[in-house]
Structure 1
Amino acid sequence: MTTTDLPTSVPYREVADANGRVYRIGETDIDIMGRKRKWMVILPWVGMMGISSAEYAFASAEDTLHTAHSWSSGHIFWMLGVWVFFQAAVAFPAGKLRESGKLPARWAMMLGALGTLLGYLSLAFAPHVIVAYIGFGMFSGMGAGMVYATCVNMVAKWYPERKGGKTGFVNGGFAYGSVPFVFLFTGYMDLTNFRWVLVSVGLFLAAVVAVSGHFFRDPPKNWWPADVDPLKKPDDARARRALEKNPPAVHQYTPLEAWKTGRVALMWFCLLCTSGVNIFGIAFQVPFGNEAGFAGGIVATAMSLKAIVNGTGRGVIGWLSDRYGRKQCLIFVCIVLGLSQYGILFSGNIGNLPLFLLFSSISGFGGGAIFPMFAAMTADYFGENNNASNYGLVYSSKLVSGLLGSGMGAVVVGAWDYSGAFVLAGSISLFAAVVALFLHPPGRPRSKRIVPNPRPLGEEMA
């Protein structure tokens, strides 16, 4: 992790709590980077919007790419799966490089911008589908993974006392930033202009990522806001409630230590299930809507609603998790995501457009809300110092879920039709809710296991 050199010497001190966790206090956000820490919410949010269209709007360009390059629909769905695979694959190694200081946040964002541009150029000019797999699937996926991991972890470092709402807000940019491009790819792009559209979009989004990333700064390790005393309850009601519902990690876990707690494996599997369902919906909602007889423009509207609710839902559930707890909110969104799959299938089968739009939006909320929950929960459980690596371990489940949700989703649809595929997706998400019941912060006793002392201190001393 990089640390910004301060222009002047700022006094700070390190204190430890009852668990031995160290907090560095005394320096303000302005002392460290010359601006308010809210900029480390706004800029990562902008950066996340710059990479969102590659995942959420890609399916909307399926018809044009299929005709222009003579690529089969199977290739396009697998290409999205490869993109998700590399987006997740880069998270852990990029996190290790970030924490070692070998990859500053600014350069991670620059590499992400380059990958974004290469992805769109390959979709526009690929002479063979293999080039598109490499350019879009691999390079664009890796670039997006660097941007995603850098932006999400940046927020947790600057807001360690109430990270849920801020993490959710930044995470939301990864979804609703794609909305204009869903309409652009479905309503404007065609065989006469697809290359010009793709190149223009690629240049614009790469510039958005690069400019926002230029101003990224990391705080020092163990940094804690100067106006929040880590050893007592905060005066601010929001911070106090957030720390009571989601207490900070007992100490800063390394990736190996985090893995040994068993929590990483549970979180990995739970995210595997839910993100696979989310990606399945992204890939197959448009073709299912077309098969159900809804007009193409209406299906694009449904996909846009899904992306909007997906993004805003991340911010809302992050805020709610500060108030009611990460685990409780995670279980809730797993259930919502599962039940909405049944709703989409039902509304499509009966041809009811309003219900289709409603359940599409609900599915978008559930599919998006899972990600800020895991991002914030990872920092809550294992600390902020190694959060990039620890979250990279959890997020690596998308290595598998992307291929299952998109590529294997196409296989399941072919074998069981949409009915079997959507029922299976809903059931998987409900099972993830059961798995989430077993999550608990490591190093902290369960409340049910705490029993009152039968001999209070006064009696023992008597």
Structure 2
Amino acid sequence: MSTSEMSKPDGQTDGYREVKDVNGRVYRVGETDRQIMGRSRRWMVFLPWFAMMAISSSEYAFSSAEETLSSAHGWHGAHIFWLLGVWIFFQAAVAFPVGQARERGTLPARNAMMLGALGTILGYVALAYAPNVFFAYLGFGFFGGTGAGIVYATCVNMVGKWYPERKGGKTGFVNGGFAYGSVPFIFLFKNYMDVGNLGGILIGVGFFLALVVAVSGFFFKDPPKNWWPPHVDPLRASADDPKIRRALIKNPPAVKQYTPREAIRTPVLPLMWFCLLCTAGINIFGIAFQVPFGDEAGFAGGIVALAMSLKAIINGTGRGVIGWISDRYGRRQTLIIVCIVLGLSQYAVFFSGNMGNMPLFLLASMVSGFGGGAIFPLFAAMTADFFGENNNASNYGMVYSSKLVSGLVGSGLGAVVVGAWGYGGAFILAGSIGIFTAGLAMLLRQPGRDLRSTSKESLALSA
């Protein structure tokens, strides 16, 4: 262990010092959040949360507009599902390059959010006025998906940087906005939008959401590299804050700040990539096909919209709850349980719909939403736990890039499976993949940490 006093950097109001733990990881302590940006770091929870709610409707409310879009533009039904798949593809595709640009300083957080706002409005304009389906793919799929991906990557990693000591609950809270923020638009698109008012509603919604993203992003600011809050000893958590102490024992900080090149060389990151591919594919499959399955099962349109809304609400609120749970009981243990719940809920959605049991269908939708939403903050926080915060935008971008495949599999290929095997075969396959992924999650371990260092740090944290 060593400490070294450092000179005051430009733009800071106070000096700082760097300390090293038993693994050689460096922590920058001494500067408060108010000294760095002139306000509490809570702003870097609520502002990203607003922005995440703004971009969520493009994914979670899109299937509610399926019938109206098909009628208004004459697009074949399969195009609707592939449009969502392409949107998700580009939303995930930009995570890694945006992360690298952010960490190199070539894309400040504020600029990234302005680009995201531009992509948001272009996506809605394309849905409203695209002269043919190609421009819908270009405007909504490419520009809309890219804009949402820039916002998502910036927001999720921002909160993790400002709360390195207890990131699970905060990351989950911000990530939750990417689901329940869509609820008003699910009802709007399903029950109030028709061919006559489609253009006006989509343009109005697009401008409003783009404004929310731009205003929120205007106040974004990153902390310095290796920053650690001064009220928490990074070498020994304060005994008078049991929540922080427990979180650090269950989810100890990464042994060092891994670069993307170093992270990809560990067996852990590719395994995380594959686990997220499977679970995100199940989640996207449910988003894309729960509404048409509910319609086919004979449920009224209002019930189907309610089921989808409950799914989105629980999907979002579950992300915050699961982050808090993972702080208490450990990220890996929590992920295993979530994968099992996600898998079993797919069986429940199908069998309840097949029986025409509305209460059970609504309950199964909520449980499915909880499992589908919980996976994202778990993987986001786990990436920082395993590989550090400094390069987390790039490292999580690599993990999150699995959504490139899962979006197309869950939505586009999901339509092929439904056509070949029916909803029963598709939902049973999705559930089985969830159970399989729970077994894979048991293999996840923090790289570079041996039993000796873990024992030393646990003793220090418990003292």
TM bracket (short chain): over 0.9
Report the secondary structure of 2:18's partner residue. Answer: strand
Q: 2:163 matched to which residue of 1?
A: 159
Residue 140 in structure 1 maps to residue 144 in structure 2: yes
Residue 325 in structure 1 maps to residue 330 in structure 2: yes
Q: Which amino acid aligns with 1:114?
A: L
- Taking the TM superposition and a 5 Å limit, the aligned residue runs for 1:396-415 are 396-415=401-420
Residue 172 in structure 1 maps to residue 176 in structure 2: yes
Q: Which amino acid aligns with 1:56?
A: Y
- Selected match of 1:114 from 115, 118, 123: 118
Report the Cα offset of residue 231 of structure 1: 1.1
Report the secondary structure of 1:364's partner residue. Answer: helix
Residue 64 in structure 1 maps to residue 75 in structure 2: no
Q: Which amino acid aligns with 1:73?
A: G
Residue 204 in structure 1 maps to residue 208 in structure 2: yes
Report the Cα offset of residue 261 of structure 1: 1.2
- Taking the TM superposition and a 5 Å limit, the aligned residue runs for 1:234-249 are 234-235=238-239, 236-249=241-254
Q: Which amino acid aligns with 1:120?
A: Y
Q: Which amino acid aligns with 1:410?
A: A
Report how many aligned residue pairs link the two structures: 445
Q: 2:48 matched to which residue of 1?
A: 44
CA–CA distance in 2 between the matches of 1:225 and 1:291? 53
8 Å CA contact 1:6, 1:31 repeated in 2: no
CA–CA distance in 1 between the matches of 2:119 and 2:15? 41
Report the Cα offset of residue 237 of structure 1: 1.1
8 Å CA contact 2:173, 2:320 repeated in 1: yes
- Selected match of 1:357 from 347, 355, 362: 362
Q: 2:102 matched to which residue of 1?
A: 98
Report the Cα offset of residue 444 of structure 1: 1.1
Q: 2:440 matched to which residue of 1?
A: 435
1:165-185: CA deviation from partner (whole Å, max 9, x where unpaired): 000000000000000000000
Q: 1:290 matched to which residue of 2?
A: 295
1:356-385: CA deviation from partner (whole Å, max 9, x where unpaired): 000000000000000000000000000000
CA–CA distance in 1 between the matches of 2:12 and 2:111? 25
Report the Cα offset of residue 8 of structure 1: 4.9
8 Å CA contact 2:13, 2:35 repeated in 1: no
Report the Cα offset of residue 6 of structure 1: 6.2
Please, what is the CA RMSD of the aligned residues?
1.1
From the superposition, tell whether residues 223 and 413 of structure 1 become closer, same or farther in structure 2 (CA, over 3 Å): same
Q: Which amino acid aligns with 2:157?
A: N
1:41-87: CA deviation from partner (whole Å, max 9, x where unpaired): 00000010010000000000000000000001100000000000000
Report the Cα offset of residue 9 of structure 1: 3.5
CA–CA distance in 2 between the matches of 1:233 and 1:386? 24
8 Å CA contact 2:319, 2:373 repeated in 1: yes
Q: 2:378 matched to which residue of 1?
A: 373
Q: 1:304 matched to which residue of 2?
A: 309
Report the secondary structure of 2:28's partner residue. Answer: strand
Report the secondary structure of 2:288's partner residue. Answer: helix
Report the Cα offset of residue 7 of structure 1: 4.8
8 Å CA contact 2:160, 2:384 repeated in 1: yes
Q: 1:149 matched to which residue of 2?
A: 153
- Selected match of 1:127 from 126, 131, 146: 131
1:98-143: CA deviation from partner (whole Å, max 9, x where unpaired): 0000000011111000000000000000001000000000111000
Q: 1:19 matched to which residue of 2?
A: 23
Q: Which amino acid aligns with 2:395?
A: N
Q: 1:260 matched to which residue of 2?
A: 265
Report the Cα offset of residue 234 of structure 1: 2.3
Q: Which amino acid aligns with 2:83?
A: M
Residue 314 in structure 1 maps to residue 304 in structure 2: no
1:256-288: CA deviation from partner (whole Å, max 9, x where unpaired): 111111111000000000000000000000000
CA–CA distance in 1 between the matches of 2:139 and 2:187? 23
Report the secondary structure of 2:164's partner residue. Answer: coil
Report the Cα offset of residue 10 of structure 1: 0.8
Report the secondary structure of 1:438's partner residue. Answer: coil
8 Å CA contact 2:162, 2:223 repeated in 1: yes
Q: 1:335 matched to which residue of 2?
A: 340
Residue 33 in structure 1 maps to residue 37 in structure 2: yes
Report the secondary structure of 2:36's partner residue. Answer: helix
Q: Which amino acid aligns with 2:349?
A: I
Q: 1:227 matched to which residue of 2?
A: 231
From the superposition, tell whether residues 201 and 20 of structure 1 become closer, same or farther in structure 2 (CA, over 3 Å): same
Q: Which amino acid aligns with 2:348?
A: G
CA–CA distance in 2 between the matches of 1:104 and 1:241? 34
CA–CA distance in 2 between the matches of 1:6 and 1:127? 52
From the superposition, tell whether residues 414 and 12 of structure 1 become closer, same or farther in structure 2 (CA, over 3 Å): same
Q: Which amino acid aligns with 1:92?
A: F
8 Å CA contact 2:13, 2:36 repeated in 1: no
Report the Cα offset of residue 233 of structure 1: 2.4
8 Å CA contact 1:310, 1:369 repeated in 2: yes
8 Å CA contact 1:6, 1:33 repeated in 2: no
Report the Cα offset of residue 191 of structure 1: 0.9
Report the secondary structure of 1:192's partner residue. Answer: coil
CA–CA distance in 1 between the matches of 2:402 and 2:393? 15
8 Å CA contact 2:85, 2:412 repeated in 1: yes
CA–CA distance in 2 between the matches of 1:260 and 1:410? 35
Q: Which amino acid aligns with 2:436?
A: F
Report the secondary structure of 1:293's partner residue. Answer: coil
* TM superposition score normalised by structure 1: 0.95
8 Å CA contact 2:257, 2:388 repeated in 1: yes
From the superposition, tell whether residues 8 and 152 of structure 1 become closer, same or farther in structure 2 (CA, over 3 Å): closer
Runs ≥4 in structure 1, deviation > 4 angstroms?
Answer: 5-8
Report the secondary structure of 1:15's partner residue. Answer: strand
From the superposition, tell whether residues 99 and 7 of structure 1 become closer, same or farther in structure 2 (CA, over 3 Å): closer
